[in-house]
Chains A and B, each alone.
Chain A
């Protein structure tokens, strides 16, 4: 017999999955737009706002479920994780918006080398996809792979910053815009890792050790 709380848990799960799809699409669109030099700020901003509203919805529903049913054990862990994951998805939207803003701030960047951004962007997109899959399927092994992928994005970002700091004749516009974009991608990768970290917690209560 289904429990009364199950209806609420299912609703919570559905909102989070909607957020997953929208946030994945938002980040992907913003990275592609940057690489192609297209200004899609308005569209990205509206999606980012939608994600923020959905995050509020998740928080409100989670608090209602806690107040009504006093969930414990795996139910409690799932609700807590949904709040964390929804925050992560909302951050994806915000960073996607920041990425799309770079074109607005710097204008034409077609002369800048975008290979490194494409590489980090592809890795970040892959991480989002995997984190969502791991969360949806409660796949602890898959979630465990995200940490190493995060290190790749971290290193791309750090290498770029270090290299830029040593360059004497680099194009300042390219250096600053590249640093910003890579920084946003690095944060996106961090949040994808956090989404992955909720999986072992939901499944067995195991908490990830944060750096």
Chain B
């Protein structure tokens, strides 16, 4: 959709398992299946139930077996730490949940299709501290089986949840390394100044 925006352009490469995902001949549908996305603002499908929100991706991929769908929905909601809160309300609208629950629903929706990578773009910026803590716990628990890439302007959050941190500034990758090292002893002067707030 970005390509519909006038003058929109991309540069650089995104390598997934050694292959450039923007290379010619790469099927975008396959990429989207392998890479799940969670957005800044919780965006459950507003007309769908909690159940259908999670099952939507699988149904789109042709899955019709109810037992498989039921299992996938429960598993995804459990992974997203949401199952216990909604298991009696699976038919309720996804939009009726709280903001934090909606965001975890979106994470469950992303997990349902079993991607390899999950991109989270400021997943907690619209959430209160308790909802944020739940998302961060969730990230820590799923990172065993998924690669989680989280974009955040909250440096303390980056320090809390990540194993590796990349610092990007005005479109440039300034520094990348293990989180502890980057926050304790950054190599680049720009990283040092940004982290310590010595800008301007």
Q: Which residues of A contact B (CB under 8 A)?
A: 1, 3, 5, 70-77, 204-205
Contacts and interface: CB of A to CB of B under 8 A. Distances in A.
B159 interface: yes
Chain B: interface residue count, which band?
A: 10 to 19
Contacts of B192: 73-74
A76 B198 CA distance: 14
Contacts of A75: 196
B166 interface: no
Contacts of A204: 185
B156 A73 contact: no
Contacts of B133: none
Contacts of A74: 192, 196
Interface of B: 155-156, 159, 183-186, 191-192, 195-198, 200
A72 B200 contact: no
Nearest to B194: A73
A204 B185 CA distance: 7
A133 B165 CA distance: 36
A77 B183 CA distance: 10
21 contacts: A1-B200, A3-B196, A3-B197, A3-B198, A5-B197, A70-B156, A70-B159, A71-B196, A72-B183, A72-B184, A72-B195, A72-B196, A73-B185, A73-B191, A73-B192, A73-B195, A73-B196, A74-B192, A75-B196, A76-B183, A204-B185
Give the dominant DSSP class at B's interface.
Answer: helix
A76 to B, nearest CB: 6
A61 B184 CA distance: 19
A155 B112 CA distance: 68
A34 B200 CA distance: 55
A204 B200 CA distance: 22
A2 B184 CA distance: 21
Contact of A205 (B184, B191, B195, B196): B184
Contacts of B183: 72-73, 76
Nearest to B184: A76
A166 B155 CA distance: 62
List the 3 closest pairs (A to B, CB-CB), nearest first. A205-B185, A72-B183, A72-B195
A77 B185 contact: yes
Contacts of A1: 200
A98 to B, nearest CB: 35
Nearest to A76: B184
The residue in B159, B183, B185 that gathers the most chain A C-beta atoms within 10 A of its C-beta is: B185
Contacts of B159: 70, 72
The residue in A72, A74, A76, A205 that gathers the most chain B C-beta atoms within 10 A of its C-beta is: A72
A138 to B, nearest CB: 15
Given A204-B185, A205-B184, A205-B185, A72 B155 contact: yes
A5 B159 CA distance: 19
Contacts of A76: 183-184
Nearest to A80: B184
Nearest to A70: B156
A7 to B, nearest CB: 14
Nearest to B187: A205
The residue in B186, B191, B195, B196 that gathers the most chain A C-beta atoms within 10 A of its C-beta is: B196
Given A70-B156, A72-B155, A72-B159, A77 B184 contact: yes
Nearest to A5: B197
Contacts of B155: 70, 72
Contacts of B191: 73
Contacts of A72: 155, 159, 183-184, 195-196
Contacts of A5: 197
Given A3-B196, A5-B197, A73-B192, 19 more contacts: A1-B200, A3-B197, A3-B198, A70-B155, A70-B156, A70-B159, A71-B196, A72-B155, A72-B196, A73-B184, A73-B185, A73-B191, A73-B195, A74-B196, A75-B196, A76-B184, A77-B184, A205-B184, A205-B185
